[in-house]
Copies of this chain bind each other. A is one copy, B any other.
Amino acid sequence: MSAASAATPPAPITTMANAIRALSMDAVEAAKSGHPGMPMGMADVATVLFTRFLKFNPKQPAWADRDRFILSAGHGSMLIYSLGYLTGYERMTIDELKRFRQLGSLTPGHPEVDPSLGIEMTTGPLGQGVSTAVGFALAERITNARFGDDLINHFTYVIASDGDLMEGVSHEACSLAGHLGLNRLIVLWDDNHISIDGSTDLSFTDDTPARFRSYGWNTATVDGHDPEAVAKAIEAAQTSDKPTLIACRTIIGKGAPNKANTHGCHGSPLGADEVAATRENLGWPHEAFVVPQDVLDAWRAAGTRADAAYADWTQRVAAMDPSARKAFEAAMDRGVPAGLDELIAAFKKKVSEDKPSWATRVASGNVLDILVPAVPEMIGGSADLTPSNNTKAKNTADVKGRGEFNGRYVRYGVREHGMATVMNGMALHGGVIPYGGTFMQFADYCRPSIRLAALMKQRSIFVMTHDSIGLGEDGPTHQPVEHLAALRAIPNLLTLRPADAVETAECWQIALERVNGPSVLALTRQNVPTLRTEHAAENRSARGGYVILEAEGERKVTLLATGSEVSLAAEARKALQAEGIGAAVVSIPSFELFEAQDDAYKASVLGSGVRVAVEAAIRQGWDRWLGYPGATAVAFVGMSGFGESAPYQELYKHFGITAEAVVAAAKARL
C-alpha cells in the first residue's frame, strides 16, 4: 500500500480495520513489547467477522447461545483486546489497552479466559486454540442435540496462525472435527507466510488446505484483505456440512510501510518512526489510542447487531416449561450436579459392605455406571482405550457425529492431546462436563492441555489408568514413574489417587464438585482390596490425607501411601502390630487437598514417630510430608528409575516395593 492510496477516502470497513491496526501498534509501542504484525494483518478479516457475522452481545457476554470466537494465535492479543474495546465490552476500556502487558491489567501478553471480555479461552501456546475450538463446536452440537435449536445453535469461529497449524495437536483435533462433521466450526487461517524465524517456507511447505480436505473439511482460499471475498467464504462455510478452513492470504503488519510482510513486525514493537509512517500510510492522523467518534460509533453499532436475536432468545428461554428451563440453566451454570452426594454415599455404602477386590479403574467404571445416567451433562470418552480405561458407562451410546450428537461417549481415537484440548473446549463452552481416559503414561502427551485447563480453571476430568509399574508386562514405555510427581507439580490441578473402591467414589465426587479446576484420577490396572469397610457418609478423601487405619496402642510408626500402595502399607502395619509396634496408615489421595488443611490437622495425621512413605513412583514431592515437622526419622519406599516389563507382582518384588521392605524401613528407624 502506498501513501498515495491512503489519500483516497477509505471504505468504512477499512477505516474500522485501521482502528484495530492503530490500537494494536500503539499498545505494543506503549508496552515496549508484543506482537503488532498479526492484529494488523488480520484486521480486515476480523472486521468482516465481527461486523457482519459474529453473533455476540458485549452487554450480555455470557449469552449461552453466542457464537464463540477463539483467537488461537494468542500472541496477537491486541486484536481481541481492540475488538473488545471497539465493540463495547464494558470493562475493556481504552485505559486497559494503554496498560497492555502490565501487572493486573485486563490486557496481559496473551489473552486469558474471561467471557465478560469476549475472551472465550486462554491462548498463546500454539495449537491449543484451534484444537480447543473443536471442543467448543462439539459441545455446541451436543447441547443442541439435548436442548434444541431454540436454545443452542451457534457457530465457533477461530483465527489461527501458521504456527497453530504446524502444531501436532491441530492434526489430532482437526482430524477428529472432520470425522465428526462439526460443520459449525469455521477456522480463519492467517496465511501470512511469516514466522519468528522468517519466511514460513524455511520450515513449512505443506499444502494446508489439501491437508484439511484429507480430514473431511471444506476449504476455501481468499485474499484476506478483500472484505467481500472473506464474507463470501464465511457465508459458504456457514452452509457447509463440514467444518471449514478459510485460508486468508494476508500481509503481516499490513499498513506498516517498511516492516509489513517481514518477521520484523511479528514479535516486536514497530518503533516510533514506523508507527508514524504507518499512521501516514493508513491515513490515520489520530493520536495514539484515539479512535474518532464516528469510527467508534460504527464499531459500537456492530456490537449491538445481535440485540434483537438476544432478546428473542431470552423470550424463548422464558417461555420454556419450567422444569426444562431449570435443566437447561443447571447445565449451562456449570454447578455441582444435583443429587451427587446421595449417589456417591449409596455407592460407598454398598462397596464398604461388599468389599470387592477391584482395580480402581474398575471401581471408577462402576461409579460411572451410576453417575452417567444421573448426570446428563457428563460426556465421557477415551483415546482408544475404552476397554482398558473403563470409561464407558453401561448402555450409553457414542457421539457419532455427522448429525448424530445425542450420545454420551466420544471415541477420541489415538489422540490423547487432541482429547484433552477437546475436553477443555467442552468445559469452556458449558452445558457438558467432559471426562476422558487414557493410560497415565500418556498424561505426557496431554500435558500442555492439562496445564491450560488448570490455568483456565476448567472442570476437565482426566481419567488416567494403569498408573504405575502395576500395569506389568507392557514395560517401562507404559509405566508411569515420574508422572504422579509431574502432575502434582501443576498448579491448580488436583491429582487424585484413590486407594480402593470407596476412595474412588469419593474422588469422583471431588472432581465433579470442583467447578473451578481440572482433576486427574490416577487409577490402577491391578486389583486392590476394599480398605474402607466401615461406611461413612463423609467424603474423607476431601481432606486430601487422613488416617485410614489407626495404630493399635501408641503410634510409633506412620505409614504414608496412596492408591495401590495403601493396601501394601496396611499389610506392613499388620506385621508391625504383630510385633507390638503401633503403626498407623495414612492414605493421601490428594497432596493438594492435604496441603490445604491446617497445620494442626496435618500434624495429627502425619504423626510424630517414624514416617515411612510408600508409592510405586519416584520420591519427588514426598519429602514435603516426610520432612513435615514432627518425625523422628523417615524413609521412602518406591522407585528411583524406570520400570521393567514383567508380571506386576514380580516387579513390585524386583523394585523392593513390598510390605516387608516397608516393615524393615520402619524398624530400622525406631
Q: How many copies does the complex hold?
A: 2
CA distance A169 to B398 in the complex (A): 27
Report, as a range, how many residues of chain A touch the other chain.
Answer: 35 or more
**A418 contacts B485, C-beta separation under 8 Å:** no
**A197 contacts B382, C-beta separation under 8 Å:** yes
At the interface with chain B, which of A46-54, A348-356, A439-447, A581-589?
A: A439-447
A414 an interface residue at 8 Å Cβ cutoff?
yes
CA distance A621 to B384 in the complex (A): 34
At the interface with chain B, which of A201-209, A309-317, A329-337, A599-607?
A: A201-209
* Known contacts A110-B478, A167-B415; A206 and B214 CB within 8 A of each other: yes
Residues of B within 8 A of A645 (CB): 101-103, 105, 108-110
Most buried by B among A398, A415, A486: A486
CB A154 to nearest CB in B, in angstroms, measures 25
CA distance A128 to B478 in the complex (A): 13
**A477 contacts B122, C-beta separation under 8 Å:** yes
Looking across the interface, which residue of chain B has its beta carbon closest to that of A210? B214
**A413 contacts B455, C-beta separation under 8 Å:** no
**B103 contacts A650, C-beta separation under 8 Å:** yes
CB A510 to nearest CB in B, in angstroms, measures 20
Residues of B within 8 A of A413 (CB): 166, 195, 200, 202-204
Looking across the interface, which residue of chain B has its beta carbon closest to that of A110? B477
Chain A 447-476 near chain B by CB (<8 Å), digits 1 or 0? 110011011000000000000000011111
Looking across the interface, which residue of chain B has its beta carbon closest to that of A449? B444
- Option from B109, B166, B388 in Cβ contact (under 8 Å) with A474: B109
CB A392 to nearest CB in B, in angstroms, measures 9
A411 an interface residue at 8 Å Cβ cutoff?
yes
Residues of B within 8 A of A168 (CB): 167-172, 415, 417-418
Residues of B within 8 A of A104 (CB): 644, 646
- Option from B112, B127, B167 in Cβ contact (under 8 Å) with A475: B112
* Known contacts A178-B206, A477-B123, A626-B627; A642 and B195 CB within 8 A of each other: no
**A455 contacts B473, C-beta separation under 8 Å:** no
- Option from B444, B492, B620 in Cβ contact (under 8 Å) with A620: B620
CA distance A624 to B613 in the complex (A): 14
Residues of B within 8 A of A555 (CB): none
Residues of B within 8 A of A442 (CB): 125, 448
A481 an interface residue at 8 Å Cβ cutoff?
yes
Residues of B within 8 A of A166 (CB): 172, 175, 384, 413-415
**A414 contacts B477, C-beta separation under 8 Å:** no
**B448 contacts A444, C-beta separation under 8 Å:** yes
- Option from B202, B414, B444, B627 in Cβ contact (under 8 Å) with A411: B202
Chain A 384-403 near chain B by CB (<8 Å), digits 1 or 0? 11111000000000100000
A179 an interface residue at 8 Å Cβ cutoff?
yes
CA distance A572 to B165 in the complex (A): 46
A61 an interface residue at 8 Å Cβ cutoff?
no
A548 an interface residue at 8 Å Cβ cutoff?
no
**A475 contacts B124, C-beta separation under 8 Å:** yes
**A387 contacts B196, C-beta separation under 8 Å:** yes
**A485 contacts B478, C-beta separation under 8 Å:** no
Residues of B within 8 A of A164 (CB): 414
CA distance A482 to B485 in the complex (A): 10
Residues of B within 8 A of A523 (CB): none
CB A83 to nearest CB in B, in angstroms, measures 19
Looking across the interface, which residue of chain B has its beta carbon closest to that of A216? B205
Residues of B within 8 A of A172 (CB): 166-168, 171
**B492 contacts A489, C-beta separation under 8 Å:** no
List residues 258-288 of chain A with CB under 8 A from any CB of chain B: none
**A102 contacts B646, C-beta separation under 8 Å:** yes
CB A136 to nearest CB in B, in angstroms, measures 18
Residues of B within 8 A of A473 (CB): 31, 33-34, 101, 109
A305 an interface residue at 8 Å Cβ cutoff?
no
Residues of B within 8 A of A102 (CB): 645-647
What are 12 pairs between A and B in contact, CB < 8 Å?
A103-B645, A124-B478, A125-B442, A168-B415, A195-B384, A197-B385, A205-B216, A206-B215, A211-B215, A455-B476, A485-B485, A491-B640
List 11 other contacts, CB 8 Å, given A166-B414, A488-B620, A626-B627: A104-B646, A109-B473, A123-B477, A167-B168, A167-B414, A171-B171, A196-B386, A207-B213, A442-B448, A445-B447, A455-B477
